[in-house]
Amino acid sequence: MMLQNIKSSIKRLGNNKLYTIINVGGLSLSFAVAILLLLYVHNEITTDKYHKNLNSLYRLTESKDKHDDTAVKFGEYIKEKFPEIKYFTRYQEFNQAIQYDNDKSIKMDHIAYMDSSCLEMFSINIVKSNRNKLLRTNQSIIISETTAKKLFGDADPIGKTIRFENLHDYIIEAVFEDYPINSSLQHNIIASFPSIKFFWGWPDYDVLKEEGNWSVSTYVMLNEGVNISDFNVRLQKDLAERFGRKTEFYLQEFSSIYFDNEISDEIRHGKTQIVYLFLSIAIIIIIIAMINYINLSTSISTKRALSIGVYKILGAQRKYLIIQFMIETILICFFSLFLGYILAELFIPTFNNLLQYKLQVKSFYAFPFSIISISIAILIGLISGVYPSMYLTRFSPLQILKGKASGTKGIGLFKKTLMVFQFIITITLITGTIVVYKQINHWRNMEIGVNKDNVLVLLSSDNLQESVKVFKENIGKITGVEDVSFSKGTVGSVGNGLYDVIDDQTINLRHLRVDANYFDMFDIDIIDGNGFFKSNSKLNEYKYLLNEAAVKYLDWESAYEKDLWGWKCIGVVKDFNFASQQDAIAPLFISFTEEEEAWTINIKISSLNIPSTIKQIEAIWAEMSPADPFEYKFIDDLFNEQYNSEDRLTKLLGYFAIFSIFIACLGLFGLISFIAEQRTKEIGVRKANGANMKNIIMLFSKEFIQLIIISGIVAIPLSYYVLSKWLQNFAYVTKLSWWVFAVSIIIAIVVSSLSVFYRAYRAASQNPVDALRYE
């Protein structure tokens, strides 16, 4: 019986080609989009879940000032003091130039300094090694498989030497498997933590005794059975007393770190808002396709009525007919799921490129995802088929024979409601895309208080620092170079901070170190006092400037009221954006640096012949620092990196909006096609009585356009609410102008009207004689 039902369903689908193509096409595309979005969602929610000790891993985090910066001594101290702690590791990550194979060099990112205990704590899989104990000496490093391949090809890397920043040699002890893509830690190289003293410039100092430098993260692994709440109370009190700062440290679960964007740290983070957004879009696009199916299935009631009537006259029970219809629906869903996976494989490269991920569709082929996919397809089939099957089998044989089984011609209230829902979602997605794009343009074009045009940034090297003044002289002779300034950090990339408690007042300031030419080069206004002296750098010692935000934050009667750490304030600069435009301008402490102590070289170049100027700078770099790679960024790029995620979100929302409106219009086209077929005789009569093509097109189009306008009216407050909430995350926001909502509705009307007008035009173009012969 089941086999017979399947054969009948396949035959019926073949006889209704337009109905089948539209349903399969819409569902296939919906499944493809949903698969891609769910791949992302699954990747995000399983981030870091692969660590075997996950439930025992924690990080020391400061709750009051929202950071994970600790002193080097923290880990060793709490390990000795508290038996609850099984292991600890200190952690700091850098991007560094490395030298390998004698004369080769490369800039390598994600270089971590960690204690050897990290191998016991985290699931770092060693695939090749020449010893049992790793990361135990100042020359110990381990590298990832990808790094080994990149540096040494197919050669065995074990025992080879790598030099960091031309400062210190390391010997490769092991190769570890690349981290999974759903890992917040993504290290290319792990070096023994005690060797960080060479990078810090303290080669003769026992760095493990350092208590003043609060710049490392501390991770711990607890023994089993520890009451974390009680332990946090004891730990917080002890650390505050031992290290003499008004701190509020607690142990934060490692599993919660990835989605915690409030804490300032050095690891990769995700956003729960994006996860919920993508999950919602996946569900919504599937619902849109299901609505198409329901609308089209009920619209072909006339075609199906006769066969249903015949079955009923022959004694078929309604239950049998409903089961047959459900089988047909599930068959469509299975076939659509199969095509959806094929489409997902085609789309995945573009999707990965937008997200900067390495997701693979094949990860959903295996158990349990294959079972879940099939179950979801069956569930969607059941939900989509319930109403049409009940609707189509409700007529009695007598109604069918009298021709009363077609229902109301045109669009009934139920179909109208479903269509309005479709276009509410579509218009909301279009509006969201426009607003996110508008917000990013607002950031790009807003005045930030500095002149950053055509300023490129170089990070200096140890070789170059020995003769940095000569380097400055040489590049100053290049025709295209207009100015040069040195700093530690720069606008768009200020990473350092100062923290202290002075006279019971918490001092938490961002810190930028600049030379005397920095303010002039970037056109930063000094609104009170003076800048640094250019003629005599000695006069700049123990002097600093504050920005307006810092003056307000410190709440002093005068910026010159107090000295900080024995330093004297000599001026106040007008607020400027030195970090992201997403956030309000933070309090900034600006101190002086000599050229030899600065590591950031800011070079302002002419807008003419930019490639040639950069090439000449590179030639001088290669001559003076041949062992180090020449890498630069424009300040504009540093700012653009701050909102890369929003930029990618705009593109993805744009794609989703296109998919959404395409699927909705596909259903709209199918719906009007069947309505036109139902009203073939009516069209013939109207044309015979003098109705022109315009009248016929308006007959079909008017009701659809009205529904889309109603959808827009409902979508406006929904979009406004959602987007207002999103914009509240930023300090500088664009306006939610009325035209944004108007444009979204117009786009929906224009695109959907194309499908309506095309089908209406075909119906209106029929010969009246053929139309009157119909039925």
CA proximity to 232, closest of 84, 90, 86, 91: 84
Q: Are residues 691 and 754 in the same domain?
A: yes
How far apart, in whole angstroms, are the C-alpha atoms of residue 406 and residue 655?
A: 38
Is position 267 within any domain? no
Q: Residue 134: is its pLDDT beyond 90?
A: yes
Residue 719 lies in a domain: yes
Any residues with CB less than 8 A from the CB of 668 and at least 6 apart, and which? 419, 704, 752, 755, 756
Q: CA-to-CA distance for 634 and 619, rounded, in angstroms? A: 18
Q: What is the mean pLDDT of residues 314-319?
A: 65
In a 3-state reduction of DSSP, which class is residue 564? strand
Q: What is the pLDDT of residues 640-696, one digit of tens each?
A: 777 777 777 778 878 887 887 777 777 777 666 666 666 666 666 776 677 677 777
Helices (H), 153-195: none
* 263 in any annotated domain: no
Tokens matching residue 227 = 């009451």
Amino acid code (one letter) for 217: S
Q: Is residue 336 part of a domain?
A: yes
Calculate mean pLDDT across residues 564-580: 87
Higher pLDDT: 600 or 462? It is 600
- Tokens, residue 320: 């049998």
Q: Is the pLDDT of residue 400 over 60?
A: no
Which amino acid, one-letter code, is at 765? S
Q: What is the pLDDT of residue 401?
A: 55
What is the full DSSP assignment across 500-555? EEETTEEEEEEEEEE-TTHHHHTT--EEEE----SS-GGGGTTEEEEEHHHHHHHT
Through-space distance between the first and last CA atoms of the chain, rounded to whole angstroms: 34
- The residues that bridge with 144 in the sheet, in sequence order, are 176
Does residue 265 lie in a domain region?
no
Give me the pLDDT at residue 679, please. 65
For residue 393, give the nearest of 287, 297, 293, 296 by alpha carbon: 297
- The pLDDT, as a whole number, for residue 604 is 93
Instruction: Report the pLDDT value the prediction gives residue 9, as an integer from 0 to 100.
Output: 52
Same domain, 61 and 144: yes
Residue 308 pLDDT grade (very low, low, confident, very high; cuts 50, 70, 90): low
Q: Are both 371 and 429 inside the same structural domain?
A: no
Distance CA 23, CA 473 (A): 70
Give the mean pLDDT of the chain. Answer: 82
Same domain, 386 and 419: no
Rounded CA-CA distance 406/549 in Å is 72
My answer on whether 586 and 702 are in the same domain is no
Average pLDDT over residues 424-442: 85
> Which phi-psi region, left, alpha or beta, contains residue 588 (left: φ > 0; alpha: ψ -120 to 50)?
beta
- Three-state secondary structure along 686-743? HHHCCCCHHHHHHHHHHHHHHHHHHHHHHHHHHHHHHHHHHHCCCCCCCCCCHHHHHH
Asked if 298 contacts 675 with a C-beta cutoff of 8 angstroms, the reply is no
| pLDDT band at residue 557 using 50, 70 and 90 as cut-offs | confident
Instruction: Indicate whether 168 and 290 sit together in one domain.
Output: no
Instruction: With respect to residue 714, please indicate whether it lies within any of the assigned structural domains.
Output: yes
Which residue would you say has higher pLDDT here, 500 or 260? Answer: 260
Domain boundary among 587, 618, 641: 641
Tell me, yes or no, whether 634 and 649 share the same domain.
no
The answer on 181 and 62 residing in a single domain is yes
Instruction: Give 165-224 pLDDT, tens digit per residue.
Output: 777 899 999 999 999 988 998 899 999 999 988 887 777 777 777 777 778 899 999 998
Looking at 614, 641, 668, which one is the last position of a domain?
641
Q: What is the pLDDT of residue 612?
A: 92
Residues 701-741 have pLDDT tens digits of 777 788 888 888 999 999 999 889 888 888 788 888 889 99
Q: What tens digit of pLDDT does each residue of 530-540 get?
A: 999 888 888 88
Residues 598 and 586 in one domain: yes
Residue 661 belongs to some domain of the structure: yes
The pLDDT tens digits of the residues spanning 616-635 come to 999 998 888 887 788 888 88
- What is the number of domains present in the chain? 4
Residues 667, 22: Cα–Cα separation, whole Å: 7
Q: Are 252 and 58 in contact (CB under 8 A)?
A: yes
Mark whether 542 and 570 lie in a shared domain: yes
Q: Torsion angle of alpha carbons 418, 419, 424, 425, nearest 10°?
A: 80
> 381 and 459, same structural domain?
no
Distances (CA, A) of 473 to 109, 258, 488: 30, 46, 20
For residue 743 the two structure tokens come to 């444009």
Reported as a pLDDT band with limits 50, 70 and 90, residue 408 is very low
Q: 20 in a domain, yes or no?
A: yes
615: tokens are 């090439």
Show the tokens assigned to 667: 């259903």
Q: What is the pTM of this model?
A: 0.79
Domain closes at, from 617, 641, 665: 641
pLDDT given at position 720 = 92
Q: List the domain range (segments joined by +) for residue 740.
A: 412-448+642-775
pLDDT of 155 > 80? The answer is yes
Mean pLDDT of 258-286: 84
Please tell me whether residues 657 and 672 are part of one structural domain. Answer: yes
Tokens found for residue 721 = 């609410």
